[in-house]
Structure 1
Amino acid sequence: MHASGFLTLMFIMIQTCRYVSHFKQECVRALSVSSQNCMNFKIPSNPPAHFKRDGIGPPDPDSKLRPYKFHIPPNESSTEKEYRHLREATQKWNQEFWARHNRTFFKEKEHFITSSLKKKTSRDDSEVTLTPDEMSVFYKHFLDVNYKLHKDYNREWYYRNVMILWSAFKVATARLFKR
């Protein structure tokens, strides 16, 4: 193995160990917080001075995604700032997309259910619910109608993630040489 390959492998292993350790700490911290406290938790707009990591809040009611509050280190370099801005912009774009998508989905689902139940109750007063097979008609129709939207979303999502990965690679490389 060449020296550069060995260094790359070591770098990846070190970063993986850091992420696993951080993930373990976050899991322990999350389990120690009761679910009631978690639902009332709000991400502060101005985090306390001891805030050294990104903060993750409870799921947004519209998008169902957990919002992040990104940590800004006091000596943030321009590369790190670019990386953080890419992540913030992607999160905002993702939150907006899924909030809009979920509102549309639930509105159309409610409309489908009410119109289907009206048709059902006019034929037979005993049934007042829709079966999973009847709901599958709505789900299939919704996916078919929104196919292009989802395809465009996935294309943009992959593009943004590649840009974030490239920026993260630049940050990691700069930090490696800074030591």
Structure 2
Amino acid sequence: MSTMNILRRTAGLRYLATAAKRRCNKSRLTDGLAQPVAADMIGTPDPISNLRPVKYYVSPHETEEEKEWRLLQQRVDEFNQTFWRNNNLMFVRAKAEYEDQLIARGEPVTAEAMSIFYKDFLNKAYDRQMAYNREWWRLNVSMLYPGLKACVRALRNRSTAVESKDTGFWDKSFES
């Protein structure tokens, strides 16, 4: 095994180890996020999936509709996180293997050689990607009705709160 091959292989493994280490450090940093938050919080990108995690605000007066919608959002976020984490790990491993094969054959690792890998990787991942897209769309469409219910409930609660304050136009005093 050539020195260049060893360096490339260790670089790929180092990337995965560094990403895992950052993930552990990030979990220590985000331990404070276990506490309730005052608004939805968006974190820094995950080093492997490249997606930004979201910590959703849970209102103390959260209705069943709002809870259902929030839980669906969290489920879709976890689905995305899992898919892209696995996909990106597969990509890094497959890329390292392809580079090793090129080096073993004595070929240089060039942009042109890598374009063949990228095309092959995308072709092999097509069915998996399409299954992901179908499921992602299904999950997003399934969130529409619970989101609408939560919105209608919030509007209804807001309108009853305004009516109970007796601050309608005719209730105001014009004598002052």
TM-score of the pair, normalised by structure 1: 0.68
Aligned Cα RMSD in Å?
1.9
Please list every run of 5 or more consecutive structure 2 residues that lacks an aligned counterpart in the other structure.
Answer: 1-24, 159-176
2:125 is aligned with 1:146: yes
Deviation sequence 1:147-166 (CA, Å, 0-9, x none): 11000000011111112233
Q: State the match for 2:53 in structure 1.
A: 67
Deviations 1:72-108, CA, capped at 9 Å, x for gaps: 1101100000001001111111111111111111000
1:174 aligns with 2:156: no
Partners of 2:144 and 2:44 in 1: how far apart?
25
- Indicate yes or no: 2:145 matched with 1:163: no
| Structure 1 residues 48-71: Cα deviation after superposition (integer angstroms, max 9, x where no partner) | 5xx321111111122111111111
Q: How far apart, in 2, do the equivalents of 1:152 and 1:166 lie? A: 23
Which structure has the bigger radius of gyration? 2
Letter paired with 2:71: H
- Are positions 1:93 and 2:72 aligned together? no
Identify the match of residue 131 of structure 1 among 103, 110, 115. 110
Instruction: Report runs of 4+ in structure 1 exceeding 4 Å deviation.
Output: none
Q: Which residue of 2 aligns with 1:108?
A: 94
Corresponding residue for residue 45 of structure 1: 33
What fraction of aligned residue pairs are identical, expressed as a percent? 35
- For 2:123, give the aligned amino acid: D
Q: Distance in 2 between the 1:42 and 1:151 partners? A: 35
Matched position secondary structure for 1:174? helix
Equivalent residue pairs, number: 132
Query: Contact 1:54–1:69 at 8 Å: present in 2 too?
Result: yes
1:80 is aligned, of 59, 62, 66, to 66
